[in-house]
Structure 1
Amino acid sequence: MKVKDIAVLLGVILIVAMLVIPFPTWLLSLLIITNISLALLVLLTAMNMKEALQFSIFPSLILLLTLFRLGLNVSTTRSILSKGDAGGVVETFGTFVVGGNVLVGIVVFFILIIIQFIVITKGAERVSEVAARFTLDAMPGKQMSIDADLNAGVISEHEARERREKVSRESDFYGAMDGASKFVKGDAIAGIIIVFINLLFGIIIGMMDGLPLGEASTKYSMLTVGDGIVSQIPALLISTATGIVVTRAASEGNIGTDILEQLFANAKMLYIAAGTIFLLGITTPINDVLTIPIAASLAIGGYMLSRVSPASEDDLLESVEQTEVDEMKSPDSVINLLNVDAIEFEFGYGLIPLADVNQGGDLLDRIVMIRRQLALELGIVIPVVRIRDNIQLEPNEYRLKIKGNEMARGELLLDHYLAMSPGGEDTVEGIETVEPAFGLPAKWITDEVKEHAELMGYTVVDPASVVSTHITEVLKVNAYDLLGRQETKQLIDHLQESYPILVEEVTPNPLSIGEVQKVLAKLLKENVSIRNLPIIFETLADYGKLSSDTELLTEYVRQSLARQITSQYASDGSTLKVITVSGKIEKMIADSIQQTEHGNYLSMDPTNSQQILEAVAGQVEELSLMQYSPILLCSPAVRMYVRQMLERYFPQVPILSYNELEANVEVQSIGVVNVE
């Protein structure tokens, strides 16, 4: 343990010892002075903090200092009643501070008690209760504000995490202060009771020792009053510090700076105060010698403040413009221009209500849900989506950019609904359009037609749902492009917390982070979720030592994820309808594989490739007419080469191998890809 930790532990042990062990009077005097010093230090610290969390230990410190003060009270009470002496500090406060008059001392003590108990402690207790309740009630709003700033790109993930921690710490702090203020209140009550005990039993013990009633009363009253005052002064300082902490608002300066800057900020107010004090002196019997110097001081202060006038708006605007020019000339500003946001969502000014919370827009909340949905479905943490308006777009137009490149564009009518026909006769009036996410024919209809369209079987959605669905589908298709080495490193670090040995077997040897990233990106590109990272890393640990070919490793991983891939395309008990690849085509592909030291690749005659593509296109079209989703099934040896051939022309057609399907799933071939 460190020396500081041991010192704190010894201090707590000393407090406990004071409750049961008699201390010599010189040690009591030393501890009393220490108590006053600590209370003064706490008060000064509270006055110089900028926000409450800078003194987060304060609730626990109140408890320890209160216990220390009560321990001193017990020790001094024991010394007064047993020896008739409590040390030089108590005697000094009993004689010198109150002038040796017992009644004056009692009056001073009760005034201190009234100030602390009724004024400061009661007010601090009430403020603590209100602050604790309001801080707890404000937590959901603060969390939503942080999420909104994060989705808008105003803050980073690290800054958002820090803000959430701060919100949580504020709640804990004010909750603890609500309880700690009760310690201060109880300390004041205990002080009153201890004084009465010392006074009553001191007189009784003095008379039992043979002292006359008057002498016993004088002696023990002086010691009791001195002990009460010497304990109430640090208690009053702690109470004041408590009030300052719970009433302190976040600021750029300490309380002294804020008082001077805010109380004496307006010169006119000083002139008014000076005139009022001057008139008070000349119109009332108050001595002019007292009022005129104070009025003159206020007037001089107002004159000095008026000379230091704030800069005019023109000067301020010129200063801001000059600062912007200087920033543009600095090399850092040019570097910042090179930054490219991972995901940007831009919209015209007509779509601002979508993102404006004050106008009922919930786009920010929807994007939060989209990121959570994709994390569950694909196992990837989508980067923050930067949302901004763009006057270069049409008023109702929006576009989605990934890494600076436009990936999608659409148009919304905020005062309309998008209606998609179920087929059959089209009887709903509206503006013809195309549903942006899936390219289906649709219509923009008004609110008056909405009910009729729903009765006719139309699928009717609001504009916010249209754009959020479009964003979701585009991000799903391009998820592989959002997974870089840095994002892969974050996934690996998260996995390492639960599976450290597994991660050590895969990276950095035999596979680098870049090679792991390529495998994960290839899985995402074919719409295979990487959420089950333990299975993926188990496979990479088994085969990574045998080969570093990421194409081959991806095939091994897909086969390990057979249960997941099967459930993705075949629901429980249903038959999986597929298009199979003929043995002739598989042999043509196998014969066209070229082996090199950098890996294998497909080198097929263009005529044969064209025939295969036309055959696949014909089968896909037939299945689309039958309202089946096309799935291509082939042998494991050629699956990745078939994918290489078809991914440019049929990117949405899943290509599976026999090893990627569970043995218990029923497969029905409803088409065969073959060539003459």
Structure 2
Amino acid sequence: MNGLLALLKDNGAGQARLLAGPILILMVLAMMILPLPPFILDLLFTFNISLSVMILLVAMFTRKPLDFAAFPAVLLFATLLRLALNVASTRVVLLHGHKGPDAAGHVIEAFGHFLVGGNFAVGIVVFVILVIINFVVITKGAGRIAEVGARFTLDAMPGKQMAIDADLNAGLIGEDEARRRRAEVGQEAEFYGSMDGASKFVRGDAVAGLLIMVINIIGGLVIGVAQHGLGFGDAGRVYTLLTIGDGLVAQIPALVISTAAGVVVSRVATDQDVGQQMVSQLFANANVLFITAGIMAAMGLIPNMPHVAFLLLAAALAGGGWLLRQRQRAQEEAAAREPAQTQAAAEAAAAEASWEDVSMVDPLGLEVGYRLISLVDHAQNGDLLHRIRSLRKKFAQDVGFLPPVVHIRDNLELKPNDYRILLSGVEIGKGSVTPGQWLAIDPGGAGAQLPGTATTDPAFGLPAVWIDVAMREEAQIAGYTVVDASTVIATHLNHLMHRFGARLLGRQEVQQLIDHIGRDAPRLVEDLVPKTISLTQLHTLLRGLLEEDVPIRDMRSIIEVVAEHAPRLIAQETPGTGLDTAELLARVRVALGRAITQHWFPGHGELHVIGLDGQLERVLIQAWTTSGALEPGLAEAVVQGAQRAIAAQDVAGEPTVLVVPPVLRAAMARFLRHHFPQLGVLSSAEIPEDRVLRMTATIGRGQG
């Protein structure tokens, strides 16, 4: 039974809230149409004043604009209520004004006599001043703030929505919280847009008040003289005072509500209301109070000044500054006496894991032991950083793209003299150097043994010895290549950068390369990506060249080949399979044939290369075209034959280059790359016609 009563009570309260708006509208319309007795007018004027004070206090105590989201609608209803009261009071003033000052009620009489002393001229001046303050200062400023706030809020909506989506995707908030925040962002935009329009109500109300006053005075003069037989002076005094009282009783609440509107749109949303913000920020600095007190005291000592007022205010400000200084010192002492446990807990809370703790893997990194820190420290005359910068510049000039920055850091887990080189967080090389000593590398045929610590060159695996600085010239005379510790690391890094150049070229580098070319030759690349070839396909093509040690400096030739052949190759592919870059890679290599040949055979002499026996060549073509793989016996024979041919080339001092027919080049390069990284596999179509080709070693039957 109690539950049923509570439900009925809640339903009754809900129905009352639902009917509040329609009832208010009906009351406003009734006031405009039906004549009201003076007593009812007194009640309604009193209600209007109390409503305006309530609105101002609510605006003062809100912490953010959306806490008073109904303000635009309240502003509209309050304006309509004032205008309806103006109509109702005008009717009463013009009908019964000749009976005396209390004809329109005691509220209008009090405002017309007590506030302006019964002087209608003073009343007119006061009323006009109030209208100017409301219209020119408060309403105009609040309207401008609402307009700018609405514009900025709308401009910031996409960013706020993206921030909410980012927090949701990161798992920092849930679906419900994200939905609530999105709704709040939309409500904030609607609020400022509504306030921009609602401010026009207040401005129109001020203008209407001024016009209503003029109309009432003129109408009162006409009615008083023509209908009631009053003298012109008596009619002017009576109706003007009543009109002024009516205007003041409406304009003062309008001024209060305009102030509330300015407070709502001009405040900055914090966890404090307007009063708390003003007190906490105006009186937050004791020095400001002391300086102001000093200025007031100096002005109070000037002759003919009101000394008591100035000196009293100066004393109050100085006393407030002293109390504020004492409170700040007490807070500082309390903070200094804070227990260490509380501070440790705060630090632990501050150290809570966040996304800032997630670090991306460096594309290229160098870690050094603590004894090698001096090599990368400018303060200790370390030149490794300068060498690495020079390496990147030389790599970009030789290979054709800018490699990633090498991130250097110390690693206490390494031995003091060790270093390691990382590619995407994975070790690809390591070594050990001795700062202060030089590495004497035996390139082959060094004449004498050197005293020192025997080791191996980390870049090329050649025998070497760490020697003292005094032995440097003697080692050079003996035929050794002598380098310092920084050069050893830089050479090793340079070797690995060229070896793993294809891994260093990412999609970002490809896009930057296209952008770089586009600045010099925009017509060359404007239809390249993605109309002719996608960025992914171009990336695969360029990495294929780098994997076989082919520089991509000549991007003009590469782009021209892609633009010429890619559309045809795409048209020949099965729908849905995409472009196969293998044939495109072969055509690019042919276009770069002169540069590839020059890379392996500098100068213009004969090309002494390794070839395939004719019978083996036919067997390999048949095997790869039919099954795409070699039988184990045939594969072993090819590897052994290549090993003997490479050894013969090394003995003769010739480049280790294998020339095969175009149909075999890609397959042979993939097969032999894992066994002989130093072997270059070229197609006969890539050799320029003006270069003489001579086979000095053969793989297969008839090899020497």
- The normalised TM-score by structure 2 is 0.51
Deviation at 1:318, TM superposition (A): 5.3
Distance apart, 1:413 and its partner CA: 0.5
Aligned residue in 2 for 1:322? 349
Return the offset for 1:295. 11
Higher mean alpha-carbon deviation, 571-580 vs 443-452, is at 571-580
1:674 offset after TM fit, Å? Answer: 1.2
Tell me, yes or no, if structure 1 residue 630 matches structure 2 residue 653: no
Equivalent pair of 2:367/2:420 in contact (CA under 8 Å): yes
Q: Residues 510 and 309 from structure 1, CA distance in 2 versus in 1: closer, same or farther, beyond 3 angstroms?
A: same
Q: Distance in 1 between matches of 2:531 and 2:633?
A: 43
**TM-aligned CA distance change 1:428 to 1:488, over 3 Å:** same
Quote the residue 2:384 is aligned against: 363
Match of 1:592 among 599, 603, 623: 623
Match of residue 7 from structure 1 = none
Match of 1:472 among 489, 494, 500: 494
Q: 3-state SS of the aligned residue for 1:637?
A: helix
**Alignment pair present for 1:378 and 2:399:** yes
Q: Is residue 2:480 matched to residue 1:458?
A: yes
1:266-301 deviations in Å (ceiling 9; x for gaps) = xxxx9xxx9xxxxxxxxxxxxxx9xx9899999778
* Corresponding residue to 2:693 among 662, 667, 672: 667
Give the whole-Å Cα distance in 2 for the aligned partners of 1:369 and 1:263. 58
Structure 1: 5+ residue stretches without partners? 1-259, 275-288, 596-600
Q: 2:593 aligns with which of 562, 566, 571?
A: 562
Unaligned runs of 5+ in 2: 1-282, 295-310, 570-578
What's the CA shift for 1:426?
A: 2.5
Distance of 1:566 and 1:386 partners within structure 2: 35
The counterpart of 1:572, out of the listed 589, 603, 610, is: 603
Deviations 1:310-359 (A, max 9, x none): 855956665444311x2x1x4x257x25x322111111111111111111
CA contact (8 A) 2:286 2:321 kept: no
In the TM superposition, what is the alpha-carbon distance from 1:581 to its structure 2 partner?
Answer: 1.7
Equivalent position of 2:675 in the other structure: 649
Superposed, 1:85-484 pairs within 5 Å as 303=326, 306-309=329-332, 319-324=346-351, 326=352, 328=353, 330=354, 332-333=355-356, 336-337=358-359, 339-421=360-442, 423-484=445-506
Q: Secondary structure at the match of 2:662?
A: coil
Residue 542 in structure 1 maps to residue 557 in structure 2: no
Please give the per-residue CA displacement for 1:629-675, whole angstroms capped at 9, x wherever unaligned: 31111122211111122111112211112221222223332111114
1:620 aligns with 2:641: no
The answer to whether the aligner puts 1:581 opposite 2:612 as a matched pair is yes
CA contact (8 A) 2:440 2:475 kept: yes
Query: What are the Cα deviations for residues 520-553 of structure 1, in whole angstroms up to 9, with x where unaligned?
Result: 0010011111121111010011111222321111
Q: Distance in 1 between matches of 2:600 and 2:362?
A: 34
The code of the aligned residue for 1:647 comes to R
Aligned to 1:593, the other structure's residue is in SS state helix
| Contact 1:612/1:675 (8 A) holds in 2 | no
Contact 1:349 1:390 in 2 (8 A): yes
Describe the superposition over 1:176-220 as per-residue Cα deviations: whole angstroms up to 9, x where unpaired. xxxxxxxxxxxxxxxxxxxxxxxxxxxxxxxxxxxxxxxxxxxxx
Once residues 342 and 481 of structure 1 are traced to their aligned partners in structure 2, the CA distance between those partners, rounded to angstroms, is 9
Normalization by structure 1: what TM-score? 0.53
Task: Give the Cα–Cα distance (whole angstroms) in 2 for the partners of residues 366 and 433 of structure 1.
Answer: 23
Task: Check the 8 A contact 2:447/2:478 in 1, yes or no.
Answer: no
What SS does the corresponding residue of 1:454 show, helix, strand or coil? helix
Structure 1 stretches of 4+ with a deviation exceeding 4 A read 260-265, 292-305, 310-318
Percent of aligned positions that are identical: 30
The Cα shift of 1:395 comes to: 0.9
Counterpart CA distance in 2 for 1:619 and 1:605 is 21
Counterpart-to-counterpart distance in 2, 1:321 and 1:455: 63
Aligned to 2:512: 490
Query: What does residue 551 of structure 1 align with?
Result: 582
Give CA-to-partner distance per residue, 1:255-276, whole Å, 9 cap, x none: xxxxx999989xxxx9xxx9xx
Helix, strand or coil for the counterpart of 1:345? strand
2:633 is aligned with 1:607: yes
Give the counterpart letter for 2:330 in structure 1: R
Report the alpha carbon displacement of residue 619 of structure 1 after superposing the two structures with TM: 0.8
Q: Is the 8 A contact 1:483 1:521 kept in 2?
A: yes
- Distance, in Å, in 1 between the alignment partners of 2:411 and 2:489 is 16
Determine helix, strand or coil for the equivalent of 1:603. Answer: coil
Aligned equivalents of 1:655, 1:580: Cα separation in 2? 10
